[in-house]
Amino acid sequence: DIVMTQGALPNPVPSGESASITCQSSKSLLHSNGKTYLNWYLQRPGQSPQLLIYWMSTRASGVSDRFSGSGSGTDFTLKISSVEAEDVGVYYCQQFLEYPRTFGGGTKLELK
């Protein structure tokens, strides 16, 4: 199975500052078709997860442009510029290159 490992944030993050969440995969998620099979989700407190980013760097519909995804085949970053109260929650990365689909353990963002 592909293992997804997420880094922690130096919480709490001051409002208006930027935050970067890291995710590392145990195998390259870069397919021969040129696409990277990585998604990012946010789960706000008491809510279902929601898709933020797919194909490593494409924002989902309705997602603020304060969110951006980048990376290589095995190392990925979700950047949140100018953190706001609505960004509080747990962020998950997920690979969908292979079965079983696997998620990172989550990174909690708290606001100062």
Partner 1 sequence: EVKLQQSGDELVRPGASVKMSCKASGYTFTDYAMHWVKQSPGQGLEWIGTIIPLIDTTSYNQKFKGKATLTADKSSNTAYMELSRLTSEDSAVYYCARSPHYSAWGQGASVTVSS
Q: For partner 1, which stretch binds (CB under 8 A), given 14-22, 24-32, 65-73, 89-97?
A: 89-97
Interface with partner 1 in residues 44-73 (CB under 8 A): 48-51, 54, 60-61
Q: Look at residue 5 and give its three-state secondary structure.
A: strand
Secondary structure letter of residue 101 according to DSSP: P
Q: Are the beta carbons of 52 and 60 closer than 8 angstroms?
A: yes
Min dist. Cβ of residue 73 to partner 1 (A): 19
Min dist. Cβ of residue 63 to partner 1 (A): 11
Q: Which residue has the tokens 């997804």?
A: 4
Q: Are the beta carbons of 29 and 95 closer than 8 angstroms?
A: yes
Please give the residue ranges that form the binding site for partner 1 (CB under 8 A): 39, 41, 48-51, 54, 60-61, 90, 92, 94, 96, 99-106
